[in-house]
Amino acid sequence: MGQLMSPNHMPIVGLLETIPATALVSDWTQHANGKLEPEYAGGSTVHWDDQTPGVYTKQIAVDEDGGQWLLSACTFIDTSVDALEDDDS
């Protein structure tokens, strides 16, 4: 077990993922050119069961300030009991 840290020494708190949602629409306008424009209702229905890892070529880690980092750029710090005991010797 351990903690992942960003290159700027902030704890990593999550991974960037893709979660589909349906944006709620309250009304529509059709312009003279035929273009349809939604009036957003200010909410979304999130489809949690369809959550997938990001569509990126590499995993993106997110630090507690919202900074985004390649997972490979982050540093793992072992916080297991065995690792902590080894540090004390």
Span 9-66, pLDDT tens digits: 999 999 998 889 999 999 999 999 999 999 999 999 999 998 887 666 788 999 999 9
Q: Residue 20 is encoded by which pair of tokens?
A: 């589909």
Asked if the model's pLDDT at residue 89 lies above 60, the reply is no
Mean pLDDT of 66-79: 95
Asked if the model's pLDDT at residue 3 lies above 60, the reply is yes
pTM (global) more than 0.85:
no
Residue 85 contacts by C-beta under 8 Å, 6 or more apart in sequence?
none
CB distance 37 to 26 below 8 Å: no
